[in-house]
A and B are shown apart, each in its own frame.
Chain A
Amino acid sequence: MSSIENIYKPYLMRVEKITNEAPDVRTFRLKFANPEDAASFSFKAGQFGEYSVLGEGESTFCIASAPTRKDYIECTFRRVGKVTSALSKLEEGDTMSFRGPYGNIFPIEDWKGKNLLYIAGGIALPPMRCVIWNTVDLRQDYKDITILYGARTVADLVYKHELQEWTDRPDIKLVTTVDPGGETPDWKGEVGFVPTVLEKMAPSSENTVAIVCGPPVMIKFTLPILSKLGFKDEDIFTTLENRMKCGFGKCGRCNVGKVFVCKDGPVFTLAQLKELPQEY
C-alpha cells in the first residue's frame, strides 16, 4: 500500500456489520479490504482515525473497538453532518475508507493495579468504549472498574447489549442514568445528570484514575466534583474532540496553544488541559 508515501491515502474498508445503537447512532464493524493492510495495522486505545465515504469527505472518530479484538475495527457515529449522513446510507458489504491510527493513547500500562472510574455522557461512550474493553479484557491487571454512563433518554443510550453484559458481570460496576424526564416506566437505572449522580455515588479517589468523556457542559460540571472527591488533576483523563482534517499536525485546525490535539492528544490529563488555552 502506497500510504507509506502518500499520507492522505486511506485504507479501503468493507462494512462487515452495522448495529443500530440509538436514533441516528450506528456502529460499523470494518474489515480491511486488503488482507496485507490488516496484517500490518495496529493501534492502541485512545487513538482515532478519519472515516470516509469517498466523494463525501472525511470525518474524525475514535476507534471504538479494543485493540485486544483483532481483525476488525469499529466506529460509532451519530448522523449529523455531510459525512456521517453519507456513512449512514451504507449497507453491510459496502466499501468505505479509513485513515489512521492517529494521536496518543490512554496510558493503560501506568494504570495497572489501580481502580478505574469511567464517566461518559451521551455519544461520548464510543471514544471510551475502546479503553473500557481494553482494560476489561485485561481484567486481572486492574482493581475495581466502575462505569458511570448517562444519556438524555433511555433511547439515547448506546451499546445497550454491552451495557447489559457489563451489568451482568460481577467484576464491573455499571451505573447508568438518564436526564430527568428521559426515563421510561420500566427504567431501573438512575435518573439525574451525570455530575449529580457522581456526587451521590461519591467514589473513592484512593488509588483511582478517572476517565471522563462527554459534552462540554457535562465535563464542566463533572470536573469540580472529581476534584472535591480528591482526584488529582494528573489522575483525571479525557479525550478532546477538536475539529480535525489531516490527523498529523499540518492542517492547523486542532491547534490549541502549542499542541496539536491530533498529535499530542486526543488524550489529555486535566493537569495538561490546565496548561492549555481554553480553545477546545
Chain B
Amino acid sequence: MDSLRRKAQQLLESKEVDCIIGYNEGSSGNVHAGFITTPGQAEKLIFDDRCKQNLGVYLTKHEVMRLGKLAIVAPVPVMRTVLILTYECQIVENSVKVLGIGLDGQFLDFNEYADIEKYLTDHCNEHPEEDKKLIEKISAMSVEERWDFWHETLKPCIKCFACRQACPMCYCVRCQVECNQPQWIPVQSSELGNMEWHFMRAMHLAGRCTGCGDCGRSCPLGIPVHLLTFKMSDVVLDNFNTKAGLTIKEPSTLSTYKANDKETFIR
C-alpha cells in the first residue's frame, strides 16, 4: 500500500495526473471510491479485501472526466475494464494511468497498456468459488427449472438499475431499456419485464464482462444478477476460447467473425 500511496503522491506532485480514482475508508466500516486530487490526500488511499468496486465505471462519468488527466487504482477486473474501454474507443490508449493491484495484492506500476496485456496473460481473475458452484447448479437444471429459478429470483427486482449503473461496460448514453420506439422492455418492474431486462443486459455483456461482479454486489435486494453475466463469460470462453479485456488489439468476441469460429449454435 505504501508503494501505491508513494506513486500516487508522485503522480500528483509532478502533475502527471490531476486525479487518482482509488479506494478510501467510508462510513460504517465500508470503503468507497475516492477522488484524490492533491498529493496530501494520497494518504487516504487504501487497498484491502473490502475494495471490490470496479472503479472503471468512473472513467466514463462526465463529472469525473472533467477533473483532468486520470489515474486509477486497478485490481485485475479494473485492468480488464481499461482495456475494453480502450478497444471500444471510450478512452484513448495509455491516457488513463493504471496503478495496478495484482492478484496477490501487490502494487504494479504499468507504463503502458501493453504491460497490462502482458500481466493479464497469466493473471486473469476467475469467478469466486461460490459463484462457480451456483452457476454449475443452475446450468444443471432443466430448462423449465431454470426458467422458474430466474423467474423467482428476478421477481423482487425493483428496476432501480443499480446493476447497470455500477457496470463500467454499461456506458450507453441511452440504454435499450430507455428506448421506447418501440418499447422493447417495460419501464416498470414486472415479473416478465424484469427477466427481459436482465437477460437483455446479460446479452449485451456477453464477451465484454470483466467478472468484477459489481452488478450483483450493487443490488440493494441482493439478487445475484452477476451470475448471468458470469455464465455468459463461460459460454464465450467455451465456444470461442476468449476472455474479455485481455488485450486492446482484439475486438470483443461477439463483434468479430473468424473463419474458424464454431457455428454449432446455428441449428
Contact = CB atoms under 8 A, between A and B. Distances in A.
A81 interface: yes
Interface of B is mostly: strand
B180 interface: yes
B183 interface: yes
A237 B180 CA distance: 34
Contacts of A57: 180
Contacts of B181: 81-82, 85
Contacts of B183: 82
Interface residues of A, number: 4
Nearest to B181: A82
A143 to B, nearest CB: 47
A81 B179 CA distance: 10
A57 B180 CA distance: 11
Contacts of A85: 181
A278 to B, nearest CB: 17
A81 B181 CA distance: 8
Interface string B163-202: 0000000000000000011010000000000000000000
A82 B181 CA distance: 6
Contacts of A81: 180-181
Interface in A35-76: 57
A179 to B, nearest CB: 27
A49 to B, nearest CB: 21
Nearest to A82: B180
Interface in B125-183: 180-181, 183
Nearest to B179: A82
Interface of B: 180-181, 183
Interface of A: 57, 81-82, 85
7 contacts: A57-B180, A81-B180, A81-B181, A82-B180, A82-B181, A82-B183, A85-B181
